[in-house]
Amino acid sequence: MPPARQPDQSAPRTVSPTGVGFDGPKDGRDPRGQAGDRLTTPNGVRIPDSDHSLKAGPRGPVLLEDFHLREKIMHFDHERIPERVVHARGAGAHGVFTANGKAATVTRAAVLAEEGLQTPVFVRFSTVLGSRGSADTVRDTRGFATKFYTKEGTWDLVGNNMPVFFIQDAIKFPDIIHAGKPHPDREIPQAQSAHDTFWDFVTLHTEATHHTIWNMSDRGIPRSYRTMEGFGVHTFRLVNAQRETVLVKFHWKPKLGVHSLVWEEAQIAAGCDPDFHRRDLYDAIENGAFPEWDLGIQVFPDTPEETFEGIDLLDPTKIVPEELAPVQIIGTLVLDGNPTNFFAETEQVAFHTGHLVPGIEGTNDPLLQGRNFSYLDTQLTRLGGPNFTQIPINRPHAPVNDSTRDGFHQQAIHTGQAPYTPNSVDDGVPFPSDWAEGGYVHVPRPVAGDVVRAAPASFDDHFSQAAMFYASLTPIEQQHVIDAYTFELGKCYEQAIKERALTVLARIDADLCTQVAAGLGLPAPEVPKAAPSKRAGKAKRPAPVPSPALAQIRPTPFPITGRIVGVVAGDGADLKGVAKLREALEAEGALLRVIAPHGGRISTGRDVEIVERTFATARSIEFDAVVVADGAPQDGDVRGLVLLQEAFRHLKALGAWGDGAALLAAAGIDAAAPGVLVGKKPGAKLTAGLVAALGAHRAWDRAPLVAASLV
């Protein structure tokens, strides 16, 4: 008799760490995870001793029949999987996205359109160039990839913290990455763009100019993943219920504002705390300071030209200034859960630009089209076969009935006899769905043209938006860009590459070029008058129109949630004052960490404080502000002085009460300098001053003083 028909080929039955789709054992445990309290072999056999191999006598040879030794070592030998070919270093978090309903007019995708709908997400942030173990704070672009587990299937928005890319066509991706990765002979430098091959490529291949200047700006060294913007980069097409389309660009706007490290901080962190960003994200979530972003879209009419105000929407080296097309907020992302297991979640998560849901489509951006091939392809090597959507973190939260079968690491025991359509054997199941039934039906679009290896003429403009970006920055941010180019090019050995880089800078901004040239000790080249490409003709370069939205430094105060204030104290310090300050800062969402010369506890009379950082473990980079308590040790410990001096140099708020001011003076810090707050008591005035200073991120008006001083 044939087996009973079971046409429902549901998703594989193992637990998802995201908790959805689980229909396994009722105790909530993954049958392939850890169960029971007894140490066993992978086959579930209890074992008496996992510390000694089976031997012929205590001094004798190890026996081949020791299956436990063999299994334990075999599994360990194969624990590593290939790291991502790019974006290897990352950190992830769970969260939820809530749509506000404003996108309902432009898309049918419930995840974006349905007011109040909450969709679970997993986000992975990353650097691009470094290996898995490289430092977080290197100068680089950051990945910002979001997996939305929507009820209509999985949607991945695989973006970056910069809105443009180095190349306009995916076929150049191996070139830019080979140029940026360590030199193939010595495999140095790690996770850096400050080397010859990177600058060789980006100065020969000038479509990289715009992305490169973003990397050289403060965006290349974020303060935290929580303070980065995110961008979908490409233009996408949204389709509404009436099958009308618009073109859009996606933006993530951090509620905390966009903030960066200063370069020296980034360098110190790379040595003192290479996990700076990973730690920050984990700690913030652990402390309940959940990072939040608004998701916004810039909306453009879907015209046959696919341009907006003359800007080619298919060119991923171009942005549309927010002043021309405002970012309209359509929902909010909150990250409120840390991964339980880094490997299972952050390492095994597999994003793909082709993971789309009805209502969201790609465009003909040639970079996006290449990515649609690459992301699936790379998972075959990295995750070992085609069944990676069955790995718990990648499992859709929508029912899956896909007729794919078998393959390496198959987790499902599929039932039924007809994994094909159409069929009659399984009663025709699974059935296709048309548009009305929620099927992903591509919007019909005409396609025509000669088969050519070519790009449109508009793609030849490599400099105008780099110039716009530079012109949009505040003078302090511009200085950082000058410093970054001077540093990076100063690390190159080849004179010809430095000279070529200066010719590129000359096309962005004459002053930028002159200053970098001076730093390199080279003559500044002439600024070319005409556009560089034949197809662009002899058109004069118009003066860039700044886009103020591109500047990070703004007069508006930002929330201080999760910001950290270090308080230098010790035995005998005013610990009542410390407790009072902690309470006041925590009320604003900030955190206080007690720093003292030794670990354990410090006490003053009956007051006791737990020491959270010692002079041996604290470094200024961890703190957004440093305050010296009345009664803190004044013994001239150089580590305490360096802590204060670095914070001063990095334009952080500094404060002191009582005789704490003497320690600031011993560090050579002028109490009258901007962002230095000195009072008699840790009262409302000091707290309000600190909150305001943290909200401004840094005491920017201290910059000229720092530039002129030796502290």
> In terms of CB distance, is 130 or 566 closer to ligand HDE?
130
Cβ pair 669, 644 in contact under 8 A: yes
Q: Tell the smallest beta-carbon distance from residue 571 to ligand HDE (Å).
A: 47
Tokens of 571: 């035995």
Candidate segments 165-173, 327-335, 515-523, 629-637, binder of ligand HDE by CB under 6 A? 165-173
What track of x and - describes contact with ligand HDE for positions 500 through 529 (by CB under 6 A)? ------------------------------
Q: Which of 53, 240, 332, 378 binds ligand HDE (CB under 6 A)?
A: 378
Please name the residues in contact with 186: beta carbons below 8 A apart, sequence gap of 6 or more.
Answer: none
> In terms of CB distance, is 350 or 691 closer to ligand HDE?
350
Q: Tell the smallest beta-carbon distance from residue 334 to ligand HDE (Å).
A: 19
Active site residue 387: no
666 touching ligand HDE, by CB under 6 A: no
The count of C-alpha atoms lying within 13 angstroms of the C-alpha of 315, restricted to the half-sphere facing its C-beta, is 23
Q: Tell the smallest beta-carbon distance from residue 461 to ligand HDE (Å).
A: 19
CA-to-CA separations, 296 to 232, 306, 644, in angstroms, rounded: 10, 20, 40
Query: Which residues, in sequence order, are bridge partners of residue 99?
Result: 331
Rounded CA separation 539/308 (Å): 20
> In terms of CB distance, is 550 or 644 closer to ligand HDE?
550
Catalytic member of 68, 87, 195, 462: 87
291 touching ligand HDE, by CB under 6 A: no
Cβ pair 236, 248 in contact under 8 A: yes
> In terms of CB distance, is 158 or 501 closer to ligand HDE?
158
Q: Tell the smallest beta-carbon distance from residue 163 to ligand HDE (Å).
A: 9
Catalytic member of 160, 215, 338, 394: 160
Tell me phi and psi for residue 250, to 5 degrees.
-95, 140
696 touching ligand HDE, by CB under 6 A: no
Candidate segments 158-166, 249-257, 573-581, 638-646, binder of ligand HDE by CB under 6 A? 158-166
- Going by DSSP bridges, is the β-strand pair 236-239/230-231 parallel, antiparallel, or unpaired? unpaired
CA-to-CA separations, 293 to 144, 296, 334, 353, in angstroms, rounded: 12, 9, 7, 21
- Going by DSSP bridges, is the β-strand pair 245-254/230-231 parallel, antiparallel, or unpaired? antiparallel
Q: Tell the smallest beta-carbon distance from residue 295 to ligand HDE (Å).
A: 15
CA-to-CA separations, 153 to 22, 150, 378, in angstroms, rounded: 16, 5, 21
Q: Tell the smallest beta-carbon distance from residue 230 to ligand HDE (Å).
A: 9
Size of the site for ligand HDE (CB under 6 A): 25
Q: Tell the smallest beta-carbon distance from residue 226 to ligand HDE (Å).
A: 17
> In terms of CB distance, is 86 or 585 closer to ligand HDE?
86
What track of x and - describes contact with ligand HDE for positions 88 through 127 (by CB under 6 A)? --x---------------------------------x-x-
Query: Which residues, in sequence order, are bridge partners of residue 154?
Result: 149
Q: Which of 18, 127, 160, 478 binds ligand HDE (CB under 6 A)?
A: 160
480 touching ligand HDE, by CB under 6 A: no
Tell me phi and psi for residue 113, to 5 degrees.
-95, -30
> In terms of CB distance, is 354 or 519 closer to ligand HDE?
354
248 touching ligand HDE, by CB under 6 A: no
Q: Which of 12, 120, 153, 159 binds ligand HDE (CB under 6 A)?
A: 159
- Going by DSSP bridges, is the β-strand pair 245-254/236-239 parallel, antiparallel, or unpaired? antiparallel
Quick check: helix, strand or coil at residue 444?
A: coil
Q: Residue 500 belongs to what H/E stretch? A: helix 495-508
Q: Tell the smallest beta-carbon distance from residue 306 to ligand HDE (Å).
A: 18
> In terms of CB distance, is 306 or 426 closer to ligand HDE?
306
Rounded CA separation 402/392 (Å): 17
388 touching ligand HDE, by CB under 6 A: no
Tell the residue number behind the tokens 């403009």, with chain if given. Answer: 461
Rounded CA separation 119/702 (Å): 44
Closest Cα to residue 195, out of 421, 405, 494? 494
Active site residue 277: no
Angle, helices 510-520 vs 475-490, to 10°: value is 40
Q: Tell the smallest beta-carbon distance from residue 501 to ligand HDE (Å).
A: 23
Cβ pair 252, 159 in contact under 8 A: yes
CA 266 to chain centre: 15
Candidate segments 81-89, 251-259, 507-515, 534-542, binder of ligand HDE by CB under 6 A? 81-89
> In terms of CB distance, is 146 or 514 closer to ligand HDE?
146
> In terms of CB distance, is 22 or 342 closer to ligand HDE?
342
Long-range contact pairs involving 677-680 (C-beta distance under 8 Å, separation at least 24): 677/653, 679/655
Q: Residue 143 belongs to what H/E stretch? A: strand 142-150
212 touching ligand HDE, by CB under 6 A: no
Q: What is the 3-state secondary structure (H, E, C) of 373-385?
A: HHHHHHHHHHCCC
- Going by DSSP bridges, is the β-strand pair 676-679/653-657 parallel, antiparallel, or unpaired? parallel
Tokens of 681: 């008591």
147 touching ligand HDE, by CB under 6 A: no
158 touching ligand HDE, by CB under 6 A: yes
276 touching ligand HDE, by CB under 6 A: no
Q: Tell the smallest beta-carbon distance from residue 364 to ligand HDE (Å).
A: 13
Q: Tell the smallest beta-carbon distance from residue 149 to ligand HDE (Å).
A: 16
Rounded CA separation 461/456 (Å): 10
Q: Tell the smallest beta-carbon distance from residue 490 to ligand HDE (Å).
A: 28
Q: Which residues of 2-28 are buried (b: 16+ CB within 10 A; e: fewer)?
A: eeeeebebebbebbbbbeebbebeeee
What track of x and - describes contact with ligand HDE for positions 292 through 321 (by CB under 6 A)? ------------------------------
Q: Which residues of 111-121 are buried (b: 16+ CB within 10 A; e: fewer)?
A: bbbbeebebbb
> In terms of CB distance, is 371 or 480 closer to ligand HDE?
371
Cβ pair 33, 440 in contact under 8 A: no
155 touching ligand HDE, by CB under 6 A: no
161 touching ligand HDE, by CB under 6 A: no
Within 10-49, which residues bind ligand HDE (CB under 6 A)?
none
Rounded CA separation 208/173 (Å): 11
Within 344-373, which residues bind ligand HDE (CB under 6 A)?
349-351, 367, 370-371
Contact residues: ligand HDE, CB under 6 A: 84-87, 90, 124, 126, 143, 145, 158-160, 165, 170, 173, 233, 349-351, 367, 370-371, 374-375, 378
Catalytic residues: 87, 160
